[in-house]
Amino acid sequence: MDRLDVLKTFIAVADRRSFAEAARHLRISPAAASRAIAALEAELGVAVFRRTTRTVALTEEGAAYLERCRHALSELEDAARAVRGEAADPRGALVVTAPVVFGRMHVAQVLAGLMRDHPQLNVKLTLTDRNVHVIEEGIDVAVRIGELVDSTLRALQVTEVRRVLVASPDYLAASGPPETPAALQGHSLIALDSLTPNGEWRFDKTKSRSQRIDPRLLTNDVATALDAAIRGLGIARLLSYQVVDHIAGGRLALVLEDFAPPPVPVTVLYPANRRRSANVLAFLKSARAYFHSIGPLL
């Protein structure tokens, strides 16, 4: 088995966590798959899998090697397609990451259209609110919400969202809506730690730069904060796309709209060396078309 076949076997075993399933997928024998992994481990000098009678799991070294192998094979596939004149035909693997709620609501829709249009394209989508290390973790495209720090990554802004304050109609009827950010001090507040830098909520700089808050509930989970607001536990700061359906359904109402801070960009990031990748270019095109079709998320 040549080196490329060994790497493909390694990826197949890692994805399926089974030598038998990987062998079936690759149409080789389980013994051939085992020999390929044994040869790879002998060459690397480390174990890439932990094996028991029931499970196959990546070691720490194996997980790090896996993402680099994915990236290397993707580069080789892109090069081969370019030589054959197939650069406009996405195929093979595309690795995508996005924030959890935004990914479910929007990125999954982008990918559904992309996969429908390109039957030979396979996607690995990881939804996490952690900012992953794009190059180190073998990511092709990462969707980020917020201002970007300096980076060697290429970036394409596809839309914008807003930071908004919301509360249930019952809460506002009982407590009265605040008229200014300073009046929040007299209310029960629900805060996401990612939207509460330095214990503050920031507002339109021309009216009120920021307001120190003492939240009744501080959480890192969007669903928890959203549920608490709907149940009438207080005023929550969330992002507009997270609450738009609940506002339309009357479960939540906007608070202090006149003091809203500037919109937050939604950006697609990708490594510079992937700028000619047919898969990445197809994702960018689909993302632009999707967000143009649905209009502002504000």
Rounded (10°) CA dihedral 287, 292, 294, 298: 100
Together in a domain, 257 and 278: no
Residue-level pLDDT at 88: 63
Mean pLDDT value across residues 51-78:
85
Together in a domain, 180 and 254: yes
Amino acid type, 45: G
Is the torsion defined by CA of 226, 231, 234, 240 positive or negative? positive
Domain-located, residue 76: no
Asked if the model's pLDDT at residue 297 lies above 90, the reply is no
What secondary structure does DSSP assign to 38-57, as a single string?
Answer: HHHHHHHTS-SEEE-SS-EE
- Tally of domains in the chain: 3
Which domain, by its residues, includes 141? 89-152+271-294
Strand order across the 141-145 sheet: 121-127, 92-98, 141-145, 264-270, 154-161
pLDDT digits (tens, 9 = 90+) for 198-248: 899 999 866 667 899 999 999 999 999 999 999 999 999 999 999 999 999
Domain-located, residue 73: no
State the pTM of this model.
Answer: 0.71
